[in-house]
Structure 1
């Protein structure tokens, strides 16, 4: 199951990047996953030097009109660099433009993806200095974002986050109980869970009993079936 999830994880993101770049005839993309604090947890790039993101995360983001730490807090789910520039001082834009030009980038559009209102990922589409601005293109931007978001919600990472949030908020499981649930889902025995979590076997049994009671199921197999059901979009 873990190998299948790993393959699915890679395939979903790779196809998302390929489809978006091809649809917009764009040479470069940056895809970012967010953690629970809306900070970048992981990222991957295509068509652009990894150094761009290293520089960006090292502090260059403060001059970015599409500052990843700010636009995810806004209401818009599609954001254009050309439009956001108008809200920033000329000097700020000059610094950021010089940064982009160093990597051969002229324009950018960002898609923010949310799960139950919470941002979980961002896709930046980048183009070269001779390309037309994204904001001036007649394109179904929101429709594309919705399509990409639908596909990304099938990613095991997003499904896991949805599962954990539901287990905590709707069923009252504690973080440690959720950790046990994940190990049970992957077929771990009580002894293996005790060793992995560094706790006693009796404590594991108590966790399992609490989980069964909170979910209203009778055995491990029922827990796995329950998880499969609540992970559906």
Structure 2
């Protein structure tokens, strides 16, 4: 399910990176989206070393004590490298060495949720020579996380994810039916949908009949209206 981008979505990630870094007194930061397995699938960076992410993906992800999948499973929202949970990891010292090789001495991660699942996150870093670790800095970390989480809710990717999950969970649409609705709401005709999806026009018509029945609506316009509502539900 794709939702057409907008100017807000184009600006919001840069704003999240800047505001989050300022609020946390962090030198550098990475914003990342999470896939359905709670692994990060794309990143934006603020003041990061050029090879940090590539080395992380190539060598370090498996020893990360702040790994997004584990944080997601624990329903964590804020976790710090020098906090008790991270320090209990057997790979903690290896990860610290990796950070220090890039000039970082500490890290705080925040998962940003939409509904009952995390959809994105922020990793923020302080340099080795910063005196106070995040864990000893008595900021309102929960409040910062809530603020950043609120900022991304109207991003087109979060709205699209919200629609996709609602169509599957609330109405029982299958992945190909959800894909079709994403094309349909952009005003595509049956032939254009068929070409985009690599299926016949008759199959498109069958899918649309099934979608109308599952969603309890009677026209393509009502499908579009329902999807528009689900973006903000």
**TM-score normalised according to structure 2 size:** 0.92
| Residues 82, 133 of structure 1: 8 Å contact kept | yes
Corresponding residue for 1:112? 111
Q: Secondary structure at the match of 1:38?
A: coil
Match of 2:45 in 1: 45
Conserved in 1, the CA contact under 8 Å of 2:13 and 2:44?
no
1:174 equivalent in structure 2? 174
Query: What whole-Å deviation, never above 9, does each CA across 1:46-67 have from its counterpart, x for those lacking one?
Result: 1112311111111312332212
Q: Distance in 2 between matches of 1:126 and 1:219?
A: 51
Match of 1:184 in 2: 184
1:197-212 equivalences under 5 Å are 197-212=197-212
**1:26-80 C-alpha deviation (Å, 9 max, x unpaired):** 2100111111111221112111123111111113123322123322221321001
Q: In the aligned structure 2, how far is the partner of 1:102 from the partner of 1:6?
A: 38
Equivalent position of 1:193 in the other structure: 193
**Structure 1 residues 1-233: aligned runs within 5 Å:** 5-83=5-83, 84-89=85-90, 92-131=91-130, 132-233=132-233
- Alpha carbons of 1:211 and 1:4: their partners in 2 closer, same or farther (altered >3 Å)? closer
- Runs of 4+ in structure 1 off by over 6 angstroms are none
- Asked if the contact 1:190–1:201 (Cα under 8 Å) also holds between the matched residues in 2, the reply is yes
CA 1:3/1:185 → structure 2, altered by over 3 Å: closer, same or farther?
closer
Q: Deviations 1:161-212 (Å, cap 9, x if unpaired)?
A: 1111111111111111111100011121111000011111111111112212
Unaligned runs of 5+ in 1: none
Asked whether the 8 Å contact 1:48–1:103 carries over to 2, the reply is no
| Equivalent pair of 2:12/2:152 in contact (CA under 8 Å) | yes
> Is contact 2:177-2:211 (8 Å) kept?
yes
